[in-house]
Each structure stands twice: as C-alpha cells, then as structure tokens.
Amino acid sequence: MTEYLAGPVKHSVTIAGHQTSLSLEPLFWEALREEAARKSLPVNALIAQIDLERIGVEQPPNLASAIRLWLFQQRTNMFIDTHSQNS
C-alpha cells in the first residue's frame, strides 16, 4: 500500500554518450519505462530527450526533477485527454 513512498533508487544511464547515475523513486522509474514503451523508445533515449528540453530553459532544474516534472505533465495531459474524450 505504501510502495509509492519508497526512497530513490540509483540507476546508470547513458545520455549523449556519457554514462551517469540518476536517482528516482521506483514509482518514477516505472512511469518512465511505461512512457518510453509508449513512445517506442529505449529509456535512455527518452531521458536524453527530456534532458535536451531541460537544458533549453532559462533556469534548468536538475535532471531528476526535470524527469519527475515531465512525467507529471505527461500523466496530466493523458488524464485531460481521456476526460475530454469521455465528455
């Protein structure tokens, strides 16, 4: 019942040919894998896309925060789309 409260888990990822580690809670790793599958992308490729968006803003957040925000926005958009189609 409280799995969503699990602490961050570190994974190695490769972004633009550079290996780094990234810490996210399991809930976000799962959502990231789901979004990557939905877009038919490897997880590393999706992370690289999010990173490019992140570094394009005036005051970029850290990568883990950018991923969480991106996932929240994706899920919010999906919710809105689903509810507007059902109306």
User: Residues 19-42: what's their mean pLDDT?
Assistant: 96
Residues making up the chain, counted from first to last: 87
Helix (H) or strand (E) holding 33: helix 26-38
Mean pLDDT of 38-66: 96
Could you give the CA distance from residue 11 to residue 34 in angstroms, rounded to a whole number? Answer: 16
Q: Decide if pLDDT at 1 tops 90.
A: no
Q: Which of 32, 34, 41, 35 minimizes the C-alpha distance to 11? A: 32
pLDDT tens figures, 17-28: 999 999 999 999
**pLDDT at site 82:** 76
Please, what is the average pLDDT of the chain? 91
Q: How far apart are CA 36 and CA 7, in angstroms?
A: 22
Residue 47 has pLDDT above 80, yes or no: yes
Please answer whether residues 60 and 73 qualify as being in contact, where contact means their C-beta atoms are separated by less than 8 angstroms: no
The full set of domains in the chain, from first to last, is 3-85 (1.10.3990.20)
Would you say 64 and 48 are in contact if contact means Cβ atoms under 8 Å apart?
Answer: no
